Amino acid sequence: MSEPKIIVLSGPSGVGKGTIRKMLDLDALNLVNSVSWTTRDPRPEDIEGVTYHFVSQDEFQKNIDEDGFVEYAGYTNNAYGTPKKQLEDWMAQGKNVLLEIEVNGAKQVMEKYPEAVSIFLVPPTMEDLRKRLIGRKSEDEAKIQARLAAAQKELDQKDNYQYQVVNDDANRAATEVAKIIQSCTSGK
């Protein structure tokens, strides 16, 4: 049995990180999904404690002040962070931990945990990404444009990751991500 690993799944907003995560067989990969904290408003499909832990700006800042995050970052006027205790508890139990996080948070994790496995999910094209963001029907045109501008900058950082997976087909991409995780965590 190998040491538990942190698996970073990152990429621009709308690239399909959540979709790919949902398609992974967590049990087969000895994997738990870390649920991040966020100050953003819930979307209709969000479930508290499953999608995110939705918290106030004050509660989020208190956790920063208490050094309670493995990583945290602001993204389009909202804050996101991974609670440290939760991650450490799971790893102490021998579980691999999946962090589905944005690029700035991923950079912090990769600096603190150089042994983490880093996977960057790439959209087939920027037009495809735009269509996905519009398809969510959760944001106005100004927010979509802000996310697309941020995505372009994030794509420039993809070479900082050990693995890059193009999400042109969710089934194929999820299979590729699962194979990467399995090969990095099997101890062989």
pLDDT mean by block of 10 residues, the chain; 188 residues: 89 87 95 94 88 93 95 84 93 95 90 95 85 75 82 90 95 97 84
Q: What is the pTM of this model?
A: 0.86
Q: Which two tokens stand for residue 11?
A: 């990429």
Number of domains in the chain: 1
Residue 1 lies in a domain: no
Contact 92, 75 (CB under 8 A): no
162: CATH: 3.40.50.300
Residue 37 lies in a domain: yes
Domain hosting 118: range is 6-185
Residue 115 lies in a domain: yes
Residue 99 lies in a domain: yes
Residue 70 lies in a domain: yes
pLDDT at residue 73, rounded to an integer: 84
Q: What phi and psi values does residue 84 have, to the nearest 5 degrees?
A: -70, -45
Cα(121)–Cα(163) distance, rounded to whole angstroms?
A: 9
Residue 159 lies in a domain: yes
